[in-house]
Structure 1
Amino acid sequence: MAMEALRVVLAMLVAAMVAARGLAHKSLSPSGAITGFIVLSLTMSAGARLGALILAFYYSSSKLTKYKAEEKRNVDEESKEGGQRDWSQVLANSLVATVLSIFVAYFTSWQDKCLDTKRNPVATGLLGGILGYYACCTGDTWSSELGVLSKSQPRLITTLQVVPRGTNGGVSLLGLLAAASGGAFIGLTFFLMGMLTAECESQIRSEQWKAVPLGGIAGLLGSLMDSLLGATAQYSGHCVVRKKIVGKPGPTVRRISGFDILSNNAVNAISASLTSLTAAATCLYLFREL
């Protein structure tokens, strides 16, 4: 019991430092910093590997958000200085995974487990879901932040017609490669941390590398789901006055695609949740005969 209490205290200290740094560097708004502190405290308390996933997503995404930020602001009105993620954006990219992390800690008695359907079926499914969720969020963010800088014009995923950069549902080769890379980065983080923290037999351990390509596939799949929802249920228009892509209709806005049904946060949460479910089922299949 004392070890669990120490883990929670350490998790809260790390979460406080990360939140304070995010606030100082303007990658988090005040509400985002508070929400991030709660989310990271709960996730790191559930396990060091799970905490590493959310940190890998957060820091890599923040770095890419700042990359050529001025150029992005000239294209997309939603691009903000340093990212400035608020509470709603933090929850959209972490709520489901945080809940799954708490369940993992409960079902494994706070012990990190390898992916192994035969011996740890519940933990394998939950861990796969968490991996898929953060792979999707990371892949989609990498795709958005780098894809908008592509030299080639993106194409709408539903019709393949050329659309302006920053259009919801627009895809490019650079963006798709970035999505797969972001997901694989999460998969690699999951695999390497598992080698340090999870106890399992050598035969099972030797198969854990499958988390890396699984992460890459989840990142790409999640980004495609996000693009499909963005092209249909999320409004995109071009403001002739500001000469930017905007997400709301208006008298000076020419509609490009989609309908004003879902917000960007809702699209992110839905696509990540669907990817999480898919990755959980895939994990149960891949690691069924170890």
Structure 2
Amino acid sequence: MEKMVFLQPLVAVLISSAVAIRAYRRKSLNLSGGLAGFLVMTLHFAVNYRFGAILLVFFFSSSKLTKVGEEKKRRIDADFKEGGQRNWIQVFSNSGIASALALTIWKLAGSKDQCLDTEQSTLVTALIGGILGHYCCCNGDTWSSELGVLSDAQPRLITTFKPVRKGTNGGVTKDGFLAAAAAGGLIGLAFVLLGFLTTSCSFDVALKQLFVIPLSAVAGLCGSTIDSLLGATLQFSGFCTVRQKVVGKPGPTVKRISGISILDNNAVNLVSVLLTTVLTALASAYIF
């Protein structure tokens, strides 16, 4: 029994080390991002293998898409980084809230994996739903952004529906919305499939877990929409006549497109994740 207590943290450290080193070598994370990623992944896997798994689904799928069409993105994105390197701030803004929820669940229910079931615990069900919503939002926003830039469709500002340049904060396309829903659905699908192997609950409760998939798709779409609304209003976008690119800061050679300089990209991500987390937690407590 004592060996089992130490087994999960050991597995967590081994998996997190391998993933963080691989991500650093492939330039998905810089050094600070790799260290932060190691800490976050270790915590997720140590608390619950399924939490760690959906974190990996988000990380690997979003990292893969970030590398697709890099030459085209380089021409459009003023802040382009090879491999989409993320630093520690980006890692924590995309996983900090989920980490806090995971620790809370561990405090309340330990490391045993559980089904979403309010008859067992409304609070734990809501917290698990919150973690789901968190990563559906992150994945949805990343997929919609990365695939939206590559789409041939003309983006439109979500607040006015006027055509805008690619790379404008708050610019949306139909392809981007579909990508966001698919990204959230993938998180939900992974959560449900793993749950059939790691949880033990009654047939009725197990069957009801399938509702996680459409809920996750909606969470991905919702998170991307909130992110776009914040980006269009509280985040500055302008066109630099010298660099011939959309930029995120005002300047003498920059013509404003939309938004005001209140939030930067990391703050927009954090707020949209927080709101989606809360909404999905409430929906989970109601549905399950």
Q: TM-score, normalised by structure 2?
A: 0.98
Deviation sequence 1:244-264 (CA, Å, 0-9, x none): 111111111111000111110
- 1:182 aligns with 183
- 1:43 aligns with 44
* Separation in structure 2 between the aligned mates of residue 104 and residue 78 of structure 1, nearest angstrom: 37
Asked if 2 retains the 8 angstrom alpha-carbon contact of 1:43 and 1:50, the reply is: yes
1:4 CA displacement? 2.7
Q: Which moved more, 1:105-114 or 1:166-175?
A: 105-114
* Separation in structure 1 between the aligned mates of residue 98 and residue 241 of structure 2, nearest angstrom: 40
- 2:21 aligns with 20
Listed as ranges, the matches of 1:109-258 within 5 Å are 109-258=110-259
* Separation in structure 2 between the aligned mates of residue 252 and residue 9 of structure 1, nearest angstrom: 54
1:2 CA displacement? 3.3
Asked if 1 retains the 8 angstrom alpha-carbon contact of 2:156 and 2:171, the reply is: yes
Unpaired runs of at least 5, structure 1: none
Q: Which moved more, 1:98-107 or 1:134-143?
A: 98-107
Match of 1:69, as an amino acid?
A: E
Deviation sequence 1:241-282 (CA, Å, 0-9, x none): 111111111111111000111110110011011000000000
1:9 CA displacement? 1.2
Deviation sequence 1:7-64 (CA, Å, 0-9, x none): 1111011101100000000000000000000000001101010001100000000000
1:201 CA displacement? 1.1
* Separation in structure 1 between the aligned mates of residue 80 and residue 181 of structure 2, nearest angstrom: 22
How many corresponding residue pairs?
A: 287
Q: Which moved more, 1:274-283 or 1:117-126?
A: 117-126
* Separation in structure 2 between the aligned mates of residue 183 and residue 263 of structure 1, nearest angstrom: 24
- 2:268 aligns with 267
- 1:8 aligns with 9
User: In structure 2, the residue corresponding to 1:27 is in which secondary structure?
Assistant: coil
- 1:72 aligns with 73
Asked if 2 retains the 8 angstrom alpha-carbon contact of 1:107 and 1:122, the reply is: no
* Separation in structure 2 between the aligned mates of residue 107 and residue 210 of structure 1, nearest angstrom: 24
Query: Post-superposition, which runs of at least 4 consecutive aligned residues in structure 1 deviate over 4 A?
Result: none
Asked if 2 retains the 8 angstrom alpha-carbon contact of 1:113 and 1:120, the reply is: no
* Separation in structure 2 between the aligned mates of residue 202 and residue 78 of structure 1, nearest angstrom: 50
Q: Which moved more, 1:204-213 or 1:101-110?
A: 101-110
CA RMSD of aligned residues (A): 0.8
* Separation in structure 1 between the aligned mates of residue 151 and residue 42 of structure 2, nearest angstrom: 37
Unpaired runs of at least 5, structure 2: none
* Separation in structure 2 between the aligned mates of residue 22 and residue 258 of structure 1, nearest angstrom: 33
1:286 aligns with 2:267: no
* Separation in structure 2 between the aligned mates of residue 4 and residue 33 of structure 1, nearest angstrom: 26
1:79 CA displacement? 2.3
Match of 1:47, as an amino acid?
A: N
* Separation in structure 1 between the aligned mates of residue 157 and residue 25 of structure 2, nearest angstrom: 37
Asked if 2 retains the 8 angstrom alpha-carbon contact of 1:73 and 1:79, the reply is: yes
1:115 CA displacement? 0.4
1:86 CA displacement? 0.3
User: In structure 1, the residue corresponding to 2:239 is in which secondary structure?
Assistant: strand
Deviation sequence 1:171-210 (CA, Å, 0-9, x none): 1001000000000010111111111111211111011011
* Separation in structure 2 between the aligned mates of residue 203 and residue 183 of structure 1, nearest angstrom: 24
Asked if 2 retains the 8 angstrom alpha-carbon contact of 1:139 and 1:222, the reply is: yes
Asked if 1 retains the 8 angstrom alpha-carbon contact of 2:47 and 2:110, the reply is: no
User: In structure 2, the residue corresponding to 1:237 is in which secondary structure?
Assistant: strand
